[in-house]
Structure 1
Amino acid sequence: MSKDDHSASAQADTTRAALHKRKERAPLFNDQDKDNISWFWNKYLKERTPWLGLVMVMILIQGFAYQQFISLTESGLRVIFDDGSVSGLIKVCGMVLAIFSVRAVMSYWVPRLSAWLASNAVFKMRRDLIDHMMTLDLAFFERTKSGDIILRLVNQAQDLSGFIGQTTVNAVRDTVTIIAVSGYLIWKNPLLFMLVIIVMPTITIVVRRISQGIKGTQANAENAMGNYMSGIEEMTNGMRTVKISNQEPVEKARLNKATGEIRDLTIRLQKLQAMMSPTVDILAAIIYVLIIGVGGYMALSPSFEMDGAGIIGFMIGMALIFDPARRLTAFFVSMQASLIILDSLRSLYREVPTITNAPEAKEVFDPTGDIILDEVTFQYSEKHPLFRNVNMTFEGGKVTAIVGATGSGKTSVLSLIARLYDVSEGFVTIGGTAVKDLRIDKLRQSFSVVAQDIVIFNSSIYENIKYVRPDATDEEIWRAAELVGIDQLMRDRGDAPLGPKGSQLSGGQKQRIAIARAFLRSAPILLLDEATSALDQRTEERVRGAIQELSKDKTTIMVAHRLSTVTHADHIYVLDEGTVVEEGTHAQLMEQEGLYAAMFNAQRSSYG
């Protein structure tokens, strides 16, 4: 079992234990639910109060229409049985038609308005969630599965929109119907109504017990769905490896297992939900028996003012109550699932960025000055420190290289300079100003980056190069493409998309697009993280010339594993397990005959 599976299992066990402990005593809304509902109301619905009020008025009209329908039905029956007046019957029929016409108009506008209100509320919430996510640290995205983020922003947000816009409004309409019709029935015959209503508390007990089980199951189902979506993404992204290593059976087994978990949880959820309707049906049967038996006795006895029309009207009224009551119990069931979804969405807001602007962050600094790491200590986790008291200087306008074995901390240096992470101790400064004291956007605007993990979007080569500078002219974009030799491919492909993550390109072509972006951006600081690692020797020589031109008058920091690419650097740092073990020019390091010389000679002999 994987780490994620263990985590999901532990979370499910904790949820089940908490729910078992609370049992029936647990409130329908816990404190977290109340806080989430209050947050959503104040942030996204309160401003629409007038429109919500209009929806409520229309719902009240619908409830009043049902009440009048019962009254008119009784009147029509008495016209038939007692008066025998055709004109009176026509009048009653006309009034019933008018009432239902009004109700039909309300039935059209209520869902339209409620869907509009809910869709706008969820749209704003999605927008705010996206805005908030963009402020979160890189560390959040490195520890959070993308399937979980997709699940929240797509599936859960859409489910919440449907719950608010349709399910909740229907529940309010059903509640108004129950209150309006019940009020009329109490006025007509309070004794008979009180007799049949005694059975109703059973519904509350059933809802309370079932809803708690649903809440726990829904939480497990959402977790299982997130794992499933992450599994699909991992499978599709790694399909090349899957095919080459002939591991299709393993992937099928893994995804089928996740699908089975979702199936089992869905069946369990449906089983809990299915308990509602039979309970309401049995209650309905008991109540109708009471109406027929007791109401019939009242009609036969001279001691009560009850006739056949009254009994039929009463039964119609109870029928109008029971369907809304059944739907209302279903609402409370789905509400528990929606409360889990709402909490899941809001949990994104509980993620707080640690990389933030200082209270008086500076916008202006000297990006052409020296970049200095002064006594820097840093670790991704407390148990695994990476740097301790590291000192490095990258002179402004010169080319500095960082080399070392995999895992020695080369790329982490670039992350600290760009303030993707904050140092634990010490300082990182640019032109004498600590990066912590700079506005984050202004700091990062000073970099052109060719990263090791190249991001290629499913659009044209032209659009991919333009991504880093949306305001660039056609001439500037084509010039950047020509400098790295990707211009001919750009002409050949035209507007054709490159496939998910640039699947239709070779590694070298992707890297040239990344380098073209750096040319287009042309910021004063150039960060090259394994910029030519995916290029063959001939292409590398061509691109190396372009990089040298790009590096002119820029502070350039190169991270490289292939040492032949850094021999021209003005200064070279050699890292080993987070420590600077050697530094100097290529010639000086070769004379020392230390780690750098050993690595260089080993690579040169391997090229043969």
Structure 2
Amino acid sequence: MTDKAKKKREPIFSPEDRSNLRWLWLGYLKKRAPWLGAVLLMILIQGLVYQQFLSMTESGLRVIFESGEVGQLVLVCLGVFFLFAVRGLMSYLVPLVTVRLSNEAIFEMRRDLIGHLMSLDLAYFERTKSGEIIHRLVTQTQQLGVFFGLATAGAVRDAVTVVIVSGYLIWKNPILFTTAIVVLPFIIWVMNFVSDRVKQAQGQAERALADYMNGIEETVNGMRTVKIASQEQVEAGRLMKGTGAIRDLMKRVQTTQALVMPSIDLSSAFVYVLVIGGGGYMVLSPDFDVDGAGIITFLLGMVMVFDPARLLAQYFGALQSNLVLLDRVRSLYDEQPSINDAPDAVEDFDTGGDIVLDDVTFSYSEDQPLFEGLDMTFRGGQVSAIVGATGSGKTTILSLLSRLYDVKGGQITIGGQPIETLKVGSLRGAFSVVAQDIVIFNNSIWENIRYVNPEATEEDVWRAAEDAEIADLIRRRGDAPVGPKGAQLSGGQKQRIAIARAFLRDAPILLLDEATSALDQATEERIKAALGRLTKGKTTIVVAHRLSSVADADRIFVLEAGQLVEQGRHDELLETAGLYSQLYQAQKKGYDGR
């Protein structure tokens, strides 16, 4: 026996599916139960209309075949028109109410997902593709809203129609109806077969689609490099490969779903033959009290049963795909933040005190430790600098200070207070950061500066802009957006926005991570005085590659491969002729040789 044959067929609703559906109901639908009850009532009215239509049709046929009274026929026709007018009104109200309910539910789901995303650690966003996050938050939630809104309301309507009309047909002719449903086991088998394969293929398709969206984002963001390197064809080929993978997976899903409708059609044809043949025999035989009007009505009723049954079959095929989406959306809650406020965390601490790293151990992965027993002290109110080669851990120290990551061992204190005993919001609120990876929004420069302090006055923003030497650019550009990720700005202009933000935030501890790396020599000299004003009276920690920019620091720490190898003032470190001196002389020679 093959592995495929040995594989046990999964149930239509796995324990995970039931748990996810319970989460959806309790979290977003139960509170709307009264409105959902109203929708169900309107759907019941639609089903009763069909039942009454069958009854009136049979009466109308008997008027035509037997009594021949025109007045009675007119009354039947008016009754049928009234019934379908009621059904038409319900057909308008049901989707109207359902769409509003589903949109509100999806709004709340997105709100909760966004809130949860914002609570997650930086490490989650560094290991998760942004395309996957966007896909879950936008596309998948929207698909869920449409499916569990309009599609589910339609499915309930179809199910109610099947139940009510079938009940009426059983009451009219139980023998003929029992004969007609002999195909039911076959339909159930087809649905099991389809649902199992759809769920597998849909899961693969969703992963491929997330990867594809991430690839598009990477290509668009890196278009400058693509154009310069003339790699348009390579990128097009990479994206087309993803497109082909999605096409093939969706073809599998749709091919499997396509088996449902012809199976239902063949079953319907078989049933109609049984009804026509068996019903005709009942009409011709004196042993049954059945006439032509009854058989025609019964056949019309079977049409009314099988059409919504076809739609129900489609719904259950789509249900498997949407259960996969629901699982992927809810799985976001499996990610939990590891950096939280301690139960007894405090808000107040000495922001002007010394910042001490005591025997700190940290690694991004278990097999590659970065810091082991690192000791450093940044004096309160002074300017400290961290220098070293790329990968030595300079920026990581800033991340540890603000608890973007937690240390694996040892302790970090500010003013003698361990940072893990502080509320995260209060701790991070004590820092202003000017980083090398500057986040710029597609808004005006003015709004980009005001982002760090939305309550700032107009005067405060202008003062920060003047201090950062970017006020003239604001006057020239006005309210013009700067493009996605600041595409219309130079690297130096972006960094001046970051510096203006630091002025506007005016926090007691200042972290400068390559704050002037994108500035030319002339601009750096102009802004040096502003940085001097910014750092005055603040505990300042500067990470710099250009050693000349930290020559005035009160203390310089030299890192190499995660180890503190030297510390002291600029002149002291030059005299020791150690690593700092070597780096400084190498940079000086490089600048002099230009």
Q: How do 1:133-172 and structure 2 match up within 5 A? A: 133-172=117-156
Alpha-carbon distance in 2 for matches of 1:400, 1:156: 48
Helix, strand or coil: the match of 1:29? coil
Q: How do 1:2-17 and structure 2 match up within 5 A? A: none
Corresponding residue number in structure 2 for 1:555: 539
User: Does residue 276 of structure 1 match 2:260?
Assistant: yes
Helix, strand or coil: the match of 1:367? coil
Corresponding residue number in structure 1 for 2:92: 108
Helix, strand or coil: the match of 1:26? coil
Alpha-carbon distance in 2 for matches of 1:453, 1:247: 25
Specify which of 480, 502, 506 is matched with residue 486 of structure 2: 502
Quick one: which amino acid aligns to residue 267 of structure 2? L
User: Does residue 306 of structure 1 match 2:290?
Assistant: yes
Corresponding residue number in structure 2 for 1:525: 509
| C-alpha displacement of 1:542 | 1.2
Alpha-carbon distance in 1 for matches of 2:467, 2:4: 64
Corresponding residue number in structure 2 for 1:412: 396
Specify which of 169, 190, 195 is matched with residue 174 of structure 2: 190
Specify which of 63, 73, 79 is matched with residue 89 of structure 1: 73
Corresponding residue number in structure 1 for 2:243: 259
Corresponding residue number in structure 2 for 1:208: 192
Alpha-carbon distance in 1 for matches of 2:123, 2:489: 29
Q: CA RMSD in A?
A: 1.1
Alpha-carbon distance in 1 for matches of 2:516, 2:66: 98
Contact 1:19 1:213 in 2 (8 A): no
Corresponding residue number in structure 2 for 1:31: 15
Q: How do 1:70-89 and structure 2 match up within 5 A? A: 70-89=54-73
Contact 1:296 1:311 in 2 (8 A): yes
Alpha-carbon distance in 1 for matches of 2:5, 2:525: 68
Structure 1 segments, 4+ long, off by >2 Å, are 17-23
- Structure 1, unaligned runs of 5 or more: 1-16
User: Does residue 423 of structure 1 match 2:391?
Assistant: no
Quick one: which amino acid aligns to residue 296 of structure 2? I
Larger deviation, residues 101-110 vs 175-184:
101-110
CA gap 1:407/1:54 in 2 versus in 1, 3 angstroms: same
Helix, strand or coil: the match of 1:199? helix
Specify which of 466, 472, 485 is matched with residue 482 of structure 1: 466
Alpha-carbon distance in 1 for matches of 2:431, 2:185: 67
User: Does residue 122 of structure 1 match 2:106?
Assistant: yes
Alpha-carbon distance in 2 for matches of 1:143, 1:20: 37
Quick one: which amino acid aligns to residue 572 of structure 2? Q
Corresponding residue number in structure 1 for 2:310: 326
User: Does residue 581 of structure 1 match 2:561?
Assistant: no
| C-alpha displacement of 1:26 | 2.1
- Structure 2, unaligned runs of 5 or more: none
| C-alpha displacement of 1:452 | 1.4
Specify which of 434, 437, 454 is matched with residue 450 of structure 1: 434
Quick one: which amino acid aligns to residue 341 of structure 2? N
Contact 1:211 1:333 in 2 (8 A): yes
Corresponding residue number in structure 2 for 1:11: none
| C-alpha displacement of 1:275 | 0.7
Alpha-carbon distance in 1 for matches of 2:385, 2:526: 20
Q: How do 1:427-442 and structure 2 match up within 5 A? A: 427-442=411-426
Alpha-carbon distance in 1 for matches of 2:12, 2:119: 35
Corresponding residue number in structure 2 for 1:469: 453
User: Does residue 377 of structure 1 match 2:361?
Assistant: yes
CA gap 1:18/1:583 in 2 versus in 1, 3 angstroms: farther
Specify which of 344, 350, 355 is matched with residue 334 of structure 2: 350
Larger deviation, residues 264-273 vs 167-176:
264-273
| C-alpha displacement of 1:20 | 7.0
Alpha-carbon distance in 2 for matches of 1:550, 1:47: 52
| C-alpha displacement of 1:491 | 0.5
Contact 1:374 1:428 in 2 (8 A): yes
Corresponding residue number in structure 1 for 2:555: 571
Larger deviation, residues 137-146 vs 241-250:
241-250
Helix, strand or coil: the match of 2:412? strand
User: Does residue 368 of structure 1 match 2:325?
Assistant: no
Quick one: which amino acid aligns to residue 161 of structure 1? G
Q: Provide the identity percentage.
A: 59
Q: Which string of whole-angstrom CA distances, capped at 9 and with x for unpartnered residues, describes residues 509-565 of structure 1?
A: 000000000000010000000000001111111112111110000000000010010
Q: Which string of whole-angstrom CA distances, capped at 9 and with x for unpartnered residues, describes residues 142-201 of structure 1?
A: 000000000000000000000011111111110000000000000000000000111122
Q: How do 1:173-188 and structure 2 match up within 5 A? A: 173-188=157-172
Paired residues in the alignment total 591
Helix, strand or coil: the match of 1:198? helix
Helix, strand or coil: the match of 2:183? coil
Give the TM-score taking structure 2 as reference length: 0.98
Quick one: which amino acid aligns to residue 155 of structure 1? T
| C-alpha displacement of 1:18 | 10
Larger deviation, residues 197-206 vs 571-580:
197-206
Alpha-carbon distance in 2 for matches of 1:48, 1:297: 51
Corresponding residue number in structure 1 for 2:203: 219
Helix, strand or coil: the match of 1:558? strand
Alpha-carbon distance in 2 for matches of 1:22, 1:539: 68
| C-alpha displacement of 1:273 | 1.1
Q: Which string of whole-angstrom CA distances, capped at 9 and with x for unpartnered residues, describes residues 310-344 of structure 1?
A: 01000100000111000000001100000000000
Give the TM-score taking structure 1 as reference length: 0.96
| C-alpha displacement of 1:249 | 1.4
CA gap 1:507/1:167 in 2 versus in 1, 3 angstroms: same
Contact 1:19 1:212 in 2 (8 A): no
CA gap 1:55/1:22 in 2 versus in 1, 3 angstroms: farther
Alpha-carbon distance in 2 for matches of 1:281, 1:572: 80
CA gap 1:251/1:192 in 2 versus in 1, 3 angstroms: same
Larger deviation, residues 34-43 vs 538-547:
538-547
Contact 1:19 1:216 in 2 (8 A): no
Alpha-carbon distance in 1 for matches of 2:309, 2:579: 79
Quick one: which amino acid aligns to residue 563 of structure 2? T
Quick one: which amino acid aligns to residue 512 of structure 1? R
Corresponding residue number in structure 2 for 1:237: 221
Quick one: which amino acid aligns to residue 133 of structure 1? L
CA gap 1:298/1:342 in 2 versus in 1, 3 angstroms: same
Alpha-carbon distance in 1 for matches of 2:5, 2:500: 59
Corresponding residue number in structure 1 for 2:233: 249
Quick one: which amino acid aligns to residue 331 of structure 2? S
Quick one: which amino acid aligns to residue 367 of structure 1? T
| C-alpha displacement of 1:459 | 0.3
Quick one: which amino acid aligns to residue 487 of structure 2? S
